[in-house]
Amino acid sequence: MLPQRFIESLVGLFFLLAIVALTVLAFKVSGLTSLFPAKTYTVTATFDDIGGLKVRAPVKISGVQIGEVSTISLDPTTFRAIVEMRIEHQYHDIPDDSSAGIFTAGLLGDNYIAISPMYNTTFLKDGSKIQVTRSAMILEKLIGQLIYKLGNSGTTSNQNGDKNAK
């Protein structure tokens, strides 16, 4: 029969390994940190309206995640949003004339940045800026514009400014 102290040590070791495994699993699932961070480079883009874009939002090309949003700030002079993205180094051959747009995953899903590669032979590198951007389409703005247009479609005006003159 094994001594009591040896059994208690095995149970303690098993318990300690279980705690370490659960901690690693929690960090891996939450995505808060990575045990082995990928090598990345930073690219920036400016947008008029980022909608609900958040830090850590995915950056995709053709639906494949190639990076994530690292910081979002406001340019104090132009009042445009500056979005900084970390792109995985394995995707180092993105043309520098590519465009970036903010899209929504599904009808009411989270926002992400989609990069549309173009045809230049020079590529984005650390510190590059994407020049051509498309801002997020805000659902509330679109609905407001639709209601406004529908409300004004039944009224016309003549040259004197009289409404409902037909």
Within a domain: residue 100?
yes
Check residues 18 and 136 and name the one with the higher pLDDT.
18
CB-count exposure of residue 164 (10 Å: 0-12, 13-18, 19+): exposed
* Contact (CB, 8 A) for 77 and 24: no
Provide the 8-state DSSP code for 121: S
Within a domain: residue 13?
no
Within a domain: residue 25?
no
Within a domain: residue 71?
yes
Check residues 47 and 36 and name the one with the higher pLDDT.
47
Number of helical (H) and strand (E) elements in the chain, helices listed first: 2, 8
- pLDDT at residue 160, as a whole number: 56
Structural domain count of the chain: 1
Is the model's pLDDT at 164 over the cut of 90? no
Within a domain: residue 31?
no
Is the model's pLDDT at 31 over the cut of 80? no
Mean pLDDT of 2-28: 89
Within a domain: residue 61?
yes
- Measured in residues, the chain has a length of 166
Within a domain: residue 90?
yes
Average pLDDT, rounded, for the chain:
87
Check residues 3 and 28 and name the one with the higher pLDDT.
3
User: Residue 100: beta bridge partners?
Assistant: 115, 133
Within a domain: residue 152?
no
Check residues 29 and 87 and name the one with the higher pLDDT.
87
DSSP code per residue over 35-83: SSPPPEEEEEEEES--TT--TT-EEEETTEEEEEEEEEEE-TTT--EEE
Is the model's pLDDT at 137 over the cut of 60? yes
On whether the pTM is more than 0.75, the answer is no
Q: Note down the domain range covering 73.
A: 40-146
Is the model's pLDDT at 12 over the cut of 60? yes
Check residues 137 and 43 and name the one with the higher pLDDT.
43
pLDDT tens, 68-102? 999 999 999 999 999 999 999 999 999 999 999 99
